[in-house]
Amino acid sequence: MEENNEKQLNFLEEIIEKGLADGTYKSILTRFPPEPNGYLHIGHAKSICLNFGLAKKYGGKTNLRFDDTNPVKEDTEYVDSIQNDIRWLGFEWAGVHYASDYFEQLYEWAVELIKKGLAYVDDQTLEEIRQNRGTVTSPGKNSPWRDRSVEENLDLFERMKNGEFADGSRVLRAKIDMAHPNMMFRDPIMYRILHAHHHRTGDKWCIYPMYDYAHGQSDSIEHITHSICTLEFDIHRPLYDWFIEQLGIYPSHQYEFARLNIDYTVMSKRKLLQLVKEGYVSGWDDPRMPTICGFRRRGYTPESIRNFCERIGVAKRDNIISYSLLEFSLREHLNKVAQRRMAVLDPVKVVIDNYPEDKEEMLTAINNPENEADGKREVPFCRELYIEREDFMENPPKKYFRMTPGNEVRLRYAYFVKCQSVEKDADGNVICIHCTYDPATRGGDAPDGRKVKGTIHWVSARHAVNAEVRLFDRLFAAEAPDDVPEGGSFLDNLNPDSLRTINNCKIEPCILDDIKQEHYENGVAAPVRFQFERMGYFCTDPDGNADHLVFNRSCTLKDSFKING
Ligand code: ATP
Ligand code: MG
C-alpha cells in the first residue's frame, strides 16, 4: 500500500488553516451530532475521526451532541452505546449536549421570528403542504394561512405548544418564498405537533423542531466553528445560514464531505435495526455487522479503525470503499500486537510411534516475532498430537509440501516427523496418522543441515483445550446490497453462509491463562486477540467462558476476498 509521507492538506484542513491565519477564529470547535436512534456504524466512525481528529490536530475541541429532536425513535440505550463507542475509538469530547436542552431557546427564537413576520402557523395538512410546494421547475403556491397577523400566529403557536391541537393539524413555517429556486426555501416547516414521550424531556413538549430549524441554531448556541456533515446536506446549507442570519446569532458554518460507503454491506440505521429486530443477526454487536460494536466484537482494534479512516481520506465526491481495506488495516495492526498461539481448527490425530508413551516435554515458542519484548512461552509436546486435517494428504498434488506418506515435515518449534502409515474408518476417512520423529531435530532444525519444505502447526492431544470457533464471511452476497429490482429487498441479498461455527477445535493450553484477564481498551471491555498461527487472527467472544471457550475469526492472514471480482 502506498503511503504518502508529505501529506497534502485536505480541503477541510485548508479551510481551518486559513481561518486560523486570518483571525476568523482563535481556536476551532467541532461537534459530532448523532441521532440516538441506533448504534453507530463504520460511517459514523469516519465522521468521528474527522471531527475529533481535526480538533485535535489544531488544538481545538469537539462536542458530542445528541440530535434528539425526533422523540419516537430515540432511546437512552442508544445514548449509552454511542458514548461507549466514541470512547473506545480513543476520543474524548469537551462537552456532551442534547439538542433537547435547547428546546426552550429554540421556542423563544421561533416566537422572535413570528414577531418579525418571518414565520407563520399553517393549518394545511402535510399532504396539502407537499402538493403546494411546486417542483424544481414550477413555483409553489402560497398557503391560504400565510398572511395571518403576528398576533394570531403568536396565539396559535403558543396553543400548539400547550397541546391544544392534534398531531398533524398545524405546523409552524418560515415565511420565505414559495417560488424560490432552492426548494428548501419554500416556507420550510420549523415545528410539528407530536404528542410523544421524549427520552429526556418526557411529556413537557408536544411540538418538536425540524432538523433544519434545530441544527444550525444548536451549533450556534455552542459556538461551533466548523459544522462538518455529509454531502447530502449541501442543499440545506443556505437555510442553515438563513436562520442564523435572521436571528443574528453566532455564525457557525457548515462544510460537507462525502459519506463513507463500503461494499457488501448496508449502512443505514433503519436497515441495521431491521436486521437486528427480525433476527438476521444476533444483535447490534453481531461480528458481521458494520457497527462499531460489531467490529469490536469481531476483534478490530481502535487503531485499525482510525488508520482505516485516515487512509481513505476526506473526499468531496461519493465513492465506495472496499471492505478489504478495513481488513488490511486490521491485519497491519494485529501483525504488530497479536500474540501467536497454535490452534487446530479441524483436528486429525497424529501418533509418533517412536516417541515414549509417558514422556512429555516443553518446547520454546516465540510469542510475537514482530515484537521481541513479548518474549517466549513453553508449549507441551507428547506422543499424541493434533494437526489440521488439511495439512495431510495421502495422494498429494505437486507442490503440496505439508504432511504426506514418506515425506518429512517440520512440526513448528518441535521436530521433523515423517508419516509412516494411516488408519481409516469404514468410509475411508483418515482417523489417525502414524509418524516417526527424529530426536536430533528438537527445536525444528536438523544438525546435519537437511531441509524440509513444509512447517505445520500442532497441538498436544493430552494438553489441548477444546474451543468453539466462529468463522465469518460477508453478511451480504451482493456488492451493493441496496441495489435491488422493483419490489425486492436488501434482505434478498443476505449471504446464507455468513456464519460457520465449528466445535471441538484444539488450542494449546496456555490459552486458559491468556483469557483469564479482563481486557479494557480506553475504558471499554474488549476481546483478547491472537494470531492462531497459519489460521488467521482470532479473538475471544463474550458468549464464551473458561469452561466453554468461544473465539471469533477477525480475519484471515491473507486477503481471502477477490478484489474487483
Ligand atoms: P443513517 O443514515 O445511517 O441513519 P444518519 O446520518 O441519520 O445515519 P446521524 O446519527 O444523524 O446518522 O449521524 C451522525 C453524524 O454522522 C452526521 O454528522 C452524519 O453526517 C455522520 N454520518 C452518518 N453516516 C455517515 C457515513 N456513512 N459516512 C460519514 N459520515 C456519516
Ligand atoms: Mg441523521
Distance CA 109, CA 368 (A): 61
Residues 370-380 have pLDDT tens digits of: 999 999 999 99
* Domain at 343-457, CATH from 2.40.240.10, 2.40.128.720, 2.40.110.10, 3.40.50.300: 2.40.240.10
Residues 397-427 have pLDDT tens digits of: 999 999 999 999 999 999 999 999 999 999 9
Does residue 449 surpass a pLDDT of 50? Answer: yes
Q: If you take atom 9 of ligand 1, which residue's CA is the nearest one?
A: 34
Does residue 90 surpass a pLDDT of 70? Answer: yes
pLDDT at 212: 97
Distance between start and end Cα atoms, the chain: 19
CATH number of the domain located at residue range(s) 27-257 in this protein: 3.40.50.620
If you measure from the C-alpha of residue 69 to the centroid of ligand 2, how many angstroms do you get, rounded to a whole number?
11
State if residue 269 touches ligand 1 by the CB under 6 angstroms criterion: yes
Residue 321, classified by CB atoms within 10 Å of its CB into exposed (0-12), middle (13-18) or buried (19+), is middle
Are residues 34 and 40 in contact, defined by beta-carbon separation less than 8 angstroms? Answer: yes
From-to residues of CATH 2.40.240.10 in the chain: 343-457
Confidence (pTM): 0.94
State if residue 133 touches ligand 1 by the CB under 6 angstroms criterion: no
533 Cβ contact partners less than 8 Å away, ≥ 6 residues apart: 340, 341, 342, 343, 412, 457
pLDDT at 565: 32
Fold for 262-339+467-555, please state it.
Glutamyl-tRNA Synthetase; domain 2 (1.10.1160)
Mean pLDDT score of the chain, rounded to an integer? 96
Average pLDDT over residues 34-60: 97
Average pLDDT over residues 136-146: 97
Does residue 525 surpass a pLDDT of 60? Answer: yes
pLDDT at 518: 87
Are residues 347 and 390 in contact, defined by beta-carbon separation less than 8 angstroms? Answer: no
Distance CA 416, CA 65 (A): 62
Distance CA 37, CA 281 (A): 18
Start-end of H helices in 176-322 = 211-222, 237-247, 269-277, 292-298, 302-312
Ligand 1 pocket mutation, candidates 42, 47, 65, 86, criterion most atoms within 8 A of CB: 47
Are residues 83 and 95 in contact, defined by beta-carbon separation less than 8 angstroms? Answer: no
Distance CA 100, CA 214 (A): 9
pLDDT at 319: 86
Is residue 500 among the annotated active site residues?
no
Q: Which of 146, 259, 349, 412 is catalytic?
A: 259
From-to residues of CATH 3.40.50.620 in the chain: 27-257
Distance CA 363, CA 28 (A): 57
From-to residues of CATH 1.10.1160.10 in the chain: 262-339+467-555
Residues 19-35 have pLDDT tens digits of: 999 999 999 999 999 99
In 443-523, which ranges are E strands?
A: 455-456, 458-460, 465-472, 499-507, 520-521
Are residues 211 and 69 in contact, defined by beta-carbon separation less than 8 angstroms? Answer: yes
Nearest atom in ligand 1 to 260's CA: 28
Ligand 1 pocket mutation, candidates 32, 44, 228, criterion most atoms within 8 A of CB: 44
Are residues 47 and 77 in contact, defined by beta-carbon separation less than 8 angstroms? Answer: no
Does residue 563 surpass a pLDDT of 50? Answer: no
Reduced 3-state DSSP string for 135-178? CCCCCCCCCCCCCCCHHHHHHHHHHHHCCCCCCCCCEEEECCCC
Distance CA 345, CA 353 (A): 24
Distance CA 78, CA 266 (A): 19
- From residue 230, give the alpha-carbon distance in Å to each of 82, 239, 256, 278: 19, 16, 5, 29
Residues 214-233 have pLDDT tens digits of: 999 999 999 999 999 999 99
| Closest-CA residue to 367 (of 387, 410, 338, 396) | 338
